[in-house]
Amino acid sequence: MFKIKKAALLAAMLAGAISMGSFSDVSAAPINSVASTSMVNCSIKDLTDDTRVFKLDKSIQTKFVTFRNRYGIDVAGHLYLPKNFDANKKYAAIVVSGPFGAVKEQVSGLYAQEFAKAGFVAVAFDPSFTGQSGGVNRDVASPDVFTEDYSAAIDFVGSLAYVDREKLGAMGICGLSGMAVTAAINDVRIKAVAVSAMYDMVDSIRNHYQGDYYTPAQRETVKKYLADMRWKEAEVGHALPGYHEVPVVNGEAVRTDGKMFPDKLPANVDSVTKEFFDYYRVRAFHPRGINSNGIWSSTTPYGFFNFPLDVHVEELSPRPIMLITGDKAHSKYHSDNLYAQAKSPKEIIVVPGATHTDLYDNMNKIPFDKLNKFFKDNLK
């Protein structure tokens, strides 16, 4: 593993995904009218291949769903239904995604399950080009398309006969936080938005950790690297692997054809990199997770170099936003910055003793009680 100027740079590269537990198989009983929806380009099926990697609550029934975004990509998700689900009632609903490079079987699924336990309909989804979602090229990220995926999830959940369209919320985790907020700014159907362990991936990819890694010359080096990789991808006709945050070492962009993580970390690795490794490769490994078992397309940084997120966050008001971070989280500054820019109503929760990945799956640290209250109060 190469050495870089900032230990937290590699940590930022790995911003992404989920929860403790073992692979389980839960067979849900049929739900009357669960497939009742007014949306044409969608499907709701039994979840037959259950590879979720967090502790499952068998009282929460879950379905495999797909829905189409406005770019024609079919997005895959898991639909979580409340305890004692009644298809004749109208429920508030929350759409959830993240972290960056994770899949719905990881963090977002855990959060969605907790929302369902609190009485919400919830959908955890894989962003386009990742996991089980569609897209010809794989493991490609786009701030625009990922933002659209949130609105497409709102299309879907709002089309369900048992969901109240006036009670829809969005939840972003880690690197999908910026997309959740950006979607909510313009999609006024989203009545409340919350983010946990926030990463602004545009800031992180274009500027690196706290904006102090790339010099102007280093950024130009990365642009030349990206141009070279575009030629290579055009020549071979498919995406090639690469870091989504490209390190510059001794004046050269670091290339790779490997995975986000080696099979084993060196003994002297920094604590934040170890934190991500322990989550993605050890306690929450999933074969479809980019951070667990792959790496992004080498040209992924293009969109993040060109298009910002959250720039009009003041327009979210008077709809509310909640931000959750940890006082030990290396990513805390992303939440602090967005909180400073947002207008009221806004709330930030700083969890004592919590690191970044504690907010992925540490049930003793994630403030689900406050998060559920936030959505209940604002999705009335």
Looking at the structure, tell me whether residues 149 and 177 fall in a common domain. yes
Q: Are residues 133 and 279 in the same domain?
A: no
* Predicted confidence (pLDDT) per residue in 198-228, tens digit: 999 998 898 876 655 688 888 899 999 999 9
Number of other CB atoms surrounding residue 361 within 10 Å:
23
- For residue 23, tell me if it sits in a domain: no
pLDDT at 26 over 50: no
One domain, residues 58 and 196: yes
Q: In the predicted model, is pLDDT for residue 77 greater than 90? A: yes
Q: Are 273 and 7 in contact (CB under 8 A)?
A: yes
Question: Residue 226: its pLDDT value, please?
Answer: 96
pTM strictly above 0.85: yes
Domain range for 119 is 42-204+306-378
187 shares its domain with 53: yes
Do both 262 and 299 map to the same domain?
yes
Q: Kindly report the CATH number assigned to the domain that includes residue 235.
A: 1.10.10.800
Domain closes at, from 269, 303, 337: 303
Cβ partners under 8 Å of residue 42, min gap 6: 65, 66, 67, 68, 156, 159
d(CA 82, CA 121): 6
- Count of CB atoms within 10 A of residue 285's CB? 17
Same domain, 184 and 314: yes
Model pLDDT, residue 271: 87
Between residues 91 and 209, the one the model is more confident about = 91
Contact 56, 21 (CB under 8 A): yes
Distance CA 330, CA 99 (A): 15
Give dist(CA 225, CA 222) in Å, integer: 5
pLDDT at 152: 98
| CA atoms of 34 and 246, how far apart (whole Å) | 45
Residues contacting 341, CB < 8 A, separation 6+ = 310, 313, 314
Q: For residue range 108-121, what is the model confidence (pLDDT) as tens digits?
A: 999 999 999 999 99
- How high is the pLDDT of residue 257? 83
90 plus 190 within the same structural domain: yes
- 95 and 70 part of one domain: yes
pLDDT at residue 258, rounded to an integer: 84
Among 273, 303, 333, which residue terminates a domain? 303
Model pLDDT for residues 240-298, shown as the tens digit of each residue: 999 999 989 988 999 888 889 888 898 889 888 999 999 999 999 999 999 999 999 99
- Do 72 and 152 lie in one domain? The reply is yes
* CA proximity to 124, closest of 74, 80, 91: 80
Asked whether residue 267 is domain-assigned, the answer is yes
Same domain, 324 and 220: no
287, 303, 319 - which closes a domain: 303
| pLDDT confidence of residue 33 | 60
Q: Do 154 and 272 belong to one domain?
A: no
Q: Are residues 188 and 313 in the same domain?
A: yes
Does a structural domain hold residue 32? no
pLDDT at 117: 98
Rounded Cα distance between 91 and 379, Å, is 10
Flag the least confident range among 29-43, 80-94, 169-183. Answer: 29-43
Share the mean pLDDT of the chain.
90
Number of domains in the chain: 2
Residue 12 has pLDDT above 70, yes or no: no
Q: For the domain that residue 155 is a member of, what is the CATH number?
A: 3.40.50.1820
Pairing of strands 252-253, 248-249: antiparallel
